[in-house]
Amino acid sequence: MSVMAVVAWDEQRRWVGPGAWNRSTLVNALGRCTTFRGAEIKRLARRLLSKKLMEFDIASPGEAAHAAHILESLGAKIVIRNAT
Domain boundaries, the chain: 2-82
pLDDT of residue 38: 92
pLDDT of residue 21: 79
- pLDDT tens per residue across span 7-31: 999 988 888 877 777 889 999 999 9
Amino acid type, 64? A
How far apart, in whole angstroms, are the C-alpha atoms of residue 1 and residue 14? 28
- Residues of the chain falling short of pLDDT 70: 83-84
Task: Give the containing element (helix H, strand E) for 70.
Answer: helix 64-73
- Residue 44 burial (C-beta neighbours within 10 Å; 0-12, 13-18, 19+): buried
pLDDT of residue 29: 93
Confidence (pTM): 0.87
